Amino acid sequence: MTAVTSLPPSPARIAKKTAENSKTISLILDASIPAVPGQFAMLWLPGVDEKPFSIAGRDPLTFAIANVGPFSGALHTLKPGDTLWFRGPFGNGYSTAEGRSLLVGGGYGAAPLHFLALELMAARGERGSLPTVAIGARTEADLLFIPRFRALGLDTHVATEDGSAGVKGRVTDAVASLLDSRRFERVYACGPEAMLEALGSLCAGRSLPAQLSHEAYMRCGIGLCGACEHGGRLVCMDGPVFTVPAESGA
Amino acid sequence: MMGARGIDLSCSIAGVKLKNPLVLASGIWGTSPALLLRAARCGAGAVTAKTCTLAPRRGHKNPTAVDWGHGLLNAMGLPNPGVEEETEMLREAKLLLAPLGVPLIASISADTSDDFGRAAALIARAEPDLIELNISCPNIQDCDHGIFAGHPQSAAAVTRAVKSALKSVVKIPCIVKLAPNVPSISEIALAVAEAGADAITAINTMPGMLIDAESGRPVLANATGGISGPALKPIALRCVHETREAVRVPIIGTGGVVTGIDAVEMIAAGATAVGVGSAVTYRGERAFALILSELEGWLSAHGHGSLDDIRGCAHAKAQAVATSNPPPVPGWERG
């Protein structure tokens, strides 16, 4: 497999399809791209639509897709051997660094975090610490990648809004108690806007740098059209990962 | 604006002063006050808002834009919130831009000449410094026979309708944005200038298509789109050159300007100002600062003190070549 940065959409075969939870599948492609965790690609099905998805693995190129609408529904119908088109990688991903890190995912926002955990583990020094993970969802069936994080031997905290798994409440509640009891150098997160906002304030209150990956409706994906604007910033070009506050000397 | 090297980069479009010649092209970033302000802070001498229409438009489905290696191809389909909301957006943008001294250009499109007039009168309430008439979007069918910019008569009719609608409101100069895909851009340029256009933007994107071999389908959901970026530059230079030969109104030369040298070429072709659009994809938000610094560096290295020194120089040279008798190429006679 050759690593390519795709300009127009490139076709790739689906090598494998796995179920991750009640509504999420992983599509593993017969392709690889030079991506870092947090970057995204535009997935295209001719005649259907094209939308941005977090890259969940670089080699082989992998996407975790929750069935939440007509296009993700169409992606769910694909089988191994079928063709899926992608262009990317686009945007700025997470910047990894040594030190104790906390990975926070809400709902299908956990999609890039397993890839990130693998990168952090690969980059860590001999005595470097393992990342801690906190994943939240509405209910147990919506939790994503918990077995994968645990299989990596990572301390994985779970919160569900209905209390069906882990602690009852929002993932930010679990994060607040983690931040009170342990020291972290940085927080990496991906999830709904409300979660990112709450997490941003939690981290700001503790002067803890947080890299937050935002989701946005995208059209061009290449910094031109302005469709994904988020307070004067373009999620596709300036993000999707934004650091708050900006890390000095990083 | 006198730059660090003591070079005067200022220019003027229909009486509107620009501190430098870079104009954020319509359709790039111009969807919100914050993004227009960002372009100005990044170094744009003027900023153009996204084209708006009387009624809101959703635009085309994705894929709407792709980089194909030699340029971009896009068919956004003029998504916009409609002239009412756009007017509010421009009012806010105008306030933000005023302290920076960066003029605001509104952009409008419509299905008929009369609607162009209505849209112009409505958007004029936001008091933009200039109004650009987008009569050349390749991605919408805006009149019975394609685009208004396709024929001298329809292009002139739109220009007249807008000029007359604005006459009773406020004095805002109009820029007419022309299309490259016409048999003679000079005829269209002449027609709109005679109809009262205060300036011309040359050019809009060039219609094109990409096909995905694997699926056998067009890549863009709209099938066709407009080519921009490096592939458009030679077409834009030719169009600006021809337009300058035909009319004296100021030209915003737009199409494939990515570097300061591209800007030099556009001004040499006769442009007063230079549109910047796809460059943002290639060079990020630093595109404006980089192009300005390269332009200034080039002028300085060549002993020029202002843009006037080089403006239209490609015309004089072309004439000199045409009237001189070049020496025969050695060996040419032997074939």
Which tokens hold the place of B26?
A: 């319509």
Residues of B in contact with A237 (CB under 8 A): 284-285
Percent of chain A with pLDDT over 70: 96
pLDDT at residue A3 is higher than 50:
no
Q: Which residues 6+ apart lie within 8 Å of B320 measured at CB?
A: none
Q: Does the N-terminal peptide bond of residue B173 adopt cis geometry, omega within 30 degrees of 0? A: no
Residue A250 has pLDDT above 50, yes or no: no
pLDDT (0 to 100) of residue B187: 97
Strand, helix or coil for residue A115 = helix
Distance separating alpha carbons of residues B186 and B195, to the nearest angstrom: 14
Whether residues A222 and B210 touch (CB distance < 8 A) is answered with: no
**Nearest CB neighbour to B68, from listed A7, A11, A220:** A7
Contact B206, B73 (CB under 8 A): no
The dihedrals phi and psi of A175, each to the nearest 5 degrees, come to -65, -40
Q: What is the pLDDT of residue B325?
A: 56
Contact A131, A218 (CB under 8 A): no
pLDDT digits 0-9 by tens, B53-78: 999 999 999 999 999 999 999 999 99
pLDDT digits (tens, 9 = 90+) for B158-195: 999 999 999 877 789 999 999 999 999 999 999 999 99
Task: Of A236, A204, A244, give the one whose Cα is nearest residue A218.
Answer: A236
The pTM (predicted TM-score) of the whole model is: 0.91
Q: Identify the pLDDT of residue A7.
A: 82
- B140: CB partners within 8 A, 6+ apart: B77, B78, B109
Percent of chain B clearing pLDDT 90 (strictly above): 87
Alpha-carbon gap, residue B141 to B163, rounded angstroms: 23
Compute the distance between CA of residue A50 and CA of residue B64 in angstroms, rounded to an integer: 9
pLDDT over threshold 60, residue A2: no
Residue A1 has pLDDT above 50, yes or no: no
Nearest to A232 among B38, B65, B74 (CB): B38
Q: What pLDDT score does A249 carry?
A: 40
Please indicate whether, in this complex, the C-beta atoms of B281 and A223 are within 8 angstroms of each other.
yes
Pairing of strands A241-244, A233-234: unpaired
Rounded CA separation B275/B24 (Å): 6
CA Rg value for chain A: 17
What letter would DSSP give residue B76?
A: -
Query: Average pLDDT, whole number, for chain A?
Result: 92
Identity of the highest mean pLDDT range in A223-232, B23-32, B164-173, B316-325: B23-32
State phi, psi for B8 to the nearest 5 degrees: -85, 110
Summarised one tens digit per residue, pLDDT across range A61-113 is 999 999 999 999 999 999 999 999 999 999 999 999 888 999 999 998 999 99
Q: How far apart are CA A217 and CA A215, in angstroms?
A: 7
pLDDT of residue A69: 95
In sequence order, the β-bridge partners of residue B143 are B146
Q: What residues of A are in the B interface, CB distance below 8 Å? A: 7-9, 11, 42, 44, 46-47, 49-51, 83, 85, 87, 218-227, 229, 231-232, 234, 237
In whole numbers, what is the pLDDT of chain B averaged over residues? 92
What is the tens place of the pLDDT at every residue in B113-166?
A: 999 999 999 999 999 999 999 999 877 665 556 799 999 999 999 999 999 999
Q: Using one digit for the tens of pLDDT, what is the confidence trace for B206-222?
A: 999 999 999 999 999 99
CA distance A24 to B179: 47
pLDDT tens-digit profile of B252-287? 999 999 999 999 999 999 999 999 999 999 999 999
A77 exposure class (CB count in 10 Å sphere: 0-12, 13-18, 19+): exposed
Using the structure block, give the residue that is written with the tokens 């005067």: B8
Asked if residue A130 has pLDDT above 70, the reply is: yes
Q: Is the pLDDT of residue A176 over 70?
A: yes
User: Looking at chain A, how many residues does it have?
Assistant: 250
Whole-angstrom Cα distance, residue A23 to residue A25? 7
Is the bond preceding B28 in cis, omega lying within 30 degrees of 0?
no
Give the residue-averaged pLDDT of B43-47.
Answer: 98
- Interface confidence (ipTM) of the complex: 0.89
The pLDDT of residue B326: 53
| Angle between helix B260-268 and B313-323 (nearest 10) | 60
Catalytic annotation, pick one of B11, B42, B52, B137: B137
Using an 8 Å CB-CB cutoff, list residues of chain B that contact chain A: 27-32, 34-35, 37-38, 50, 59, 61-69, 72, 74, 76, 79, 210, 212, 214-215, 217, 219, 221, 277-278, 280-281, 284-285
Q: What is the DSSP string of B246-270?
A: H--S-EEE-SS--SHHHHHHHHHTT
Q: Cα(B96)–Cα(A113) distance, rounded to whole angstroms?
A: 39
Work out how many CB contacts closer than 8 A connect A with B: 99
Give the C-alpha separation, A166 to A160, whole Å.
6
Residue B137 annotated among the catalytic residues of the structure: yes
The C-alpha atoms of residue B120 and residue B109 are separated, in whole angstroms, by 9
pLDDT per residue over B303-324, tens digit each? 999 999 999 999 976 555 555 5
Distance between CA atoms of B125 and B131, rounded to whole angstroms? 11
**Of B62, B69, B214, Cβ closest to residue A7:** B69
Q: Measured between alpha carbons, how far is B149 from B48 in angstroms, rounded to an integer? A: 19
Angle, in degrees to the nearest 10, between helices A193-205 and A171-181 = 20
User: How far does the CA of residue A152 sit from the closest CA of chain B (Å)?
Assistant: 37
**C-beta atoms of B212 and A11 within 8 A:** yes
